[in-house]
Structure 1
């Protein structure tokens, strides 16, 4: 796990306490105005998820979206008009986010392709903004560590930094994993996670990466989106790490490209085995092919006396053990988890809650999937320490892009 001394254990995620414990003074400090003032927010990245998040923030009632930015001018103008953002605060180009920061916002919602996140998060924190960002937080180890540093700086400076994983907001996931950690199914011997879905469009490459920046095409590219394991498989592996309460010490496995007519370099079929220091094993499988299998994201913990199953779009249930837990059906987690995170982000800002509990788990999940990607691509075993020492940076060629 990541700590101030990289490689040592961090504390587990805690959940936000009651807002009532904080004083009116904290509310004034958080917003620099009256407690009931709206948080002035900027949205960077206005694709499908960016528009969804923007709409949710607008409907929340506690935010005023005052600026937007997207690489493509037509998108920035269209979404800006939809959100009633002043024309002078609709920014475009690769550096549009910098101009947005100069417009004067309290908070930044970052929803671009992941290769942008380290730079955007760092600049946002340096400008004194609260940060809400999507996952994965970066495509490589150096970028991940930049986000970690930015998140820690945000907390130290009295700013909120939230990474938008949905499963960690779900009541059934929370209770099921609480019971697992309590020991209800005995010692866990193995975790098994899976993430499957169809692949995204992967057209021929062009002279610049501009053509890869729309319609989730960038998920096919390790440099732009981290690839399928880092961008999508992270959901299942994050739950596995939450169950394990630790990070793996090594990963081994194999991966390949199977989708039709590929042009990006991301592998789309994965089989991985992670090892933990206490001997725990995590097996992960993933595939992204248009083969009618469809979406599946789940993790099962196999204990000595029972097992816990947790699915992103199915159910959470604990079988056997000290006391079976029926849990329940997980419904609409993709939007509902985001709505809960947007609410938590606002409450944290207004009430001056700067513990930022999503930071370290999100960093650890990011590094774990990068470890899996690198080990599988080389078809070898790789340790966490080796990954960190290698510290490989994936360069992005932005030649020819509009600034």
Structure 2
């Protein structure tokens, strides 16, 4: 399997030029929809559990949807995805993180799996090859370090995009995603991000009441993601035949250039809720963090095991975000918004003068999100949440940058001027030394 040797900066330069020229052309996806207004075909890039789960969510959320093409770095991942998609399964509820919707749902729509061997693509260029398929919507679920270039390629090809969160791991990538979102809007293409709490019924009702002033003015906020699964998530024992690149790709959460660290990969959901409540991203962040226990981590990568961030928003309100992954520790996930006349849990409750408990319904927000996205495409007015998910991701990146360097950082500077680009110089299998763990006070702010 041969990869394409290409830097992300050279890729971005060429795709920006191509994208501007393509903006004047009719949308290819629009033409596809015009030929068959009912059928929507999916292509998946990144055949892990979340990518396969997104395919299942999409097919179950709306009628006349099928998957026609798969792409991944590795053929064995494609084979595993096909096996899962072609096998009925019973759903499982989960106690932790239930507000995000069940990860395993009832699945019996194997008839909607229309993937042929000719539409399975592997390698570094697989995300390009799948764009030649009949897919109308491309689901992007590879490691986040690849997300900006995959998004741009899909938009340039005239495809609607569903991009899992986070959509980048550094400011250079975020700027590319924001450009892609604007280009998608010009071409009348949909762009949905994987921050499904924006479609949660209880979250929507509680945030509406907060914005209506029913709990008073927002005074402070906090969010947290304390768990342990990141410790052993995608922790594969290295095989002798694997190159450095292959090992890092298969164990991607443990390497910053691929995952962005768990504050970006996980806490971005809750940080997005903070931005939602505040009406936009913060103006600055100051943070600390580190890695205190390597003994329990099978993969010795370069991610922290704990973060704490203080964000200050333009209205002067400070929000506190924390993320921790460690075995044998207490778990906590969610948000808390303190207002002048009440305290809100966005997952369905307000305490105070106008106390409120959300009575239901509690439908799977992933299904609600997909249904809204697909309906918008069919109506010819596709939703575009690209800027929102880019800002949420950038807010998480800002916190990580502050924790890694020990510096207070301005959001606008990081977004518009930081030259931090974590991608390797070339994308190919072979040697790839692991960058050292960040040390606050010594790691340079770029």
**Could you state the TM-score of these two structures normalised by the residue count of structure 1?**
0.84
For 1:66, the equivalent position in structure 2 comes to 68
Unaligned segments of structure 1, at least 5 residues: 1-26
TM superposition shift of 1:264: 1.3
Q: What's the CA shift string for 1:238-263, capped at 9, x where partnerless?
A: 11111111221111120001243451
Counterpart-to-counterpart distance in 1, 2:50 and 2:361: 20
Counterpart-to-counterpart distance in 1, 2:64 and 2:255: 36
Counterpart-to-counterpart distance in 1, 2:422 and 2:319: 27
1:190 correspondence with 2:204: no
SS class of match (2:348): strand
Q: Alignment partner for residue 398 of structure 1, among 427, 433, 438? A: 427
Shift in alpha-carbon separation, 1:111–1:280, aligned structure 2, 3 A: same
Runs of 4+ with deviation above 4 angstroms = 27-30, 202-206, 328-331
1:225 correspondence with 2:255: no
Counterpart-to-counterpart distance in 1, 2:258 and 2:334: 26
Q: What's the CA shift string for 1:196-248, capped at 9, x where partnerless?
A: 1112335687642212333xx31221100111100001111111111111221
Superposition pairs of residues 277-356 of structure 1, within 5 angstroms = 277-294=314-331, 296-310=332-346, 315-321=347-353, 323-328=354-359, 336-356=364-384
Counterpart-to-counterpart distance in 2, 1:355 and 1:343: 11
For 1:14, the equivalent position in structure 2 comes to none
TM superposition shift of 1:330: 9.1
1:41 correspondence with 2:70: no
Shift in alpha-carbon separation, 1:107–1:93, aligned structure 2, 3 A: same
For 1:362, the equivalent position in structure 2 comes to 389
Counterpart-to-counterpart distance in 1, 2:314 and 2:370: 35
For 1:150, the equivalent position in structure 2 comes to 180
Shift in alpha-carbon separation, 1:46–1:204, aligned structure 2, 3 A: closer
Q: Alignment partner for residue 108 of structure 1, among 118, 138, 141? A: 138
For 1:129, the equivalent position in structure 2 comes to 159
Shift in alpha-carbon separation, 1:32–1:193, aligned structure 2, 3 A: same
For 1:256, the equivalent position in structure 2 comes to 290
CA contact 2:139–2:162 (8 Å) conserved in 1:
yes
TM superposition shift of 1:39: 1.1
Counterpart-to-counterpart distance in 2, 1:260 and 1:194: 22
CA contact 1:77–1:87 (8 Å) conserved in 2:
no
Q: What's the CA shift string for 1:318-351, capped at 9, x where partnerless?
A: 1114x222125896x8xx2222222122101100
CA contact 2:32–2:136 (8 Å) conserved in 1:
no
1:380 correspondence with 2:382: no
Counterpart-to-counterpart distance in 2, 1:28 and 1:221: 38
For 2:94, the equivalent position in structure 1 comes to none
Counterpart-to-counterpart distance in 2, 1:399 and 1:101: 21
Q: What's the CA shift string for 1:154-187, capped at 9, x where partnerless?
A: 1111111111212111111111111111111211
Q: What's the CA shift string for 1:12-52, capped at 9, x where partnerless?
A: xxxxxxxxxxxxxxx9867122432x112211111111111
Superposition pairs of residues 203-218 of structure 1, within 5 angstroms = 207-214=243-250, 217-218=251-252
Counterpart-to-counterpart distance in 2, 1:228 and 1:166: 18
Counterpart-to-counterpart distance in 2, 1:210 and 1:344: 37
CA contact 2:217–2:340 (8 Å) conserved in 1:
yes
CA contact 1:208–1:399 (8 Å) conserved in 2:
no
CA contact 2:286–2:399 (8 Å) conserved in 1:
yes
TM superposition shift of 1:108: 0.4
Shift in alpha-carbon separation, 1:147–1:28, aligned structure 2, 3 A: closer
Q: What's the CA shift string for 1:139-163, capped at 9, x where partnerless?
A: 1111111111111111111111111
- How many residue pairs align between the two structures? 362
CA contact 2:201–2:365 (8 Å) conserved in 1:
no
Q: What's the CA shift string for 1:109-162, capped at 9, x where partnerless?
A: 111110111111100010000011100000111111111111111111111111
TM superposition shift of 1:306: 0.9
Shift in alpha-carbon separation, 1:105–1:162, aligned structure 2, 3 A: same
1:57 correspondence with 2:58: yes
Counterpart-to-counterpart distance in 1, 2:80 and 2:323: 36
SS class of match (2:35): coil
Shift in alpha-carbon separation, 1:200–1:330, aligned structure 2, 3 A: farther
For 2:22, the equivalent position in structure 1 comes to none
Counterpart-to-counterpart distance in 2, 1:203 and 1:92: 20
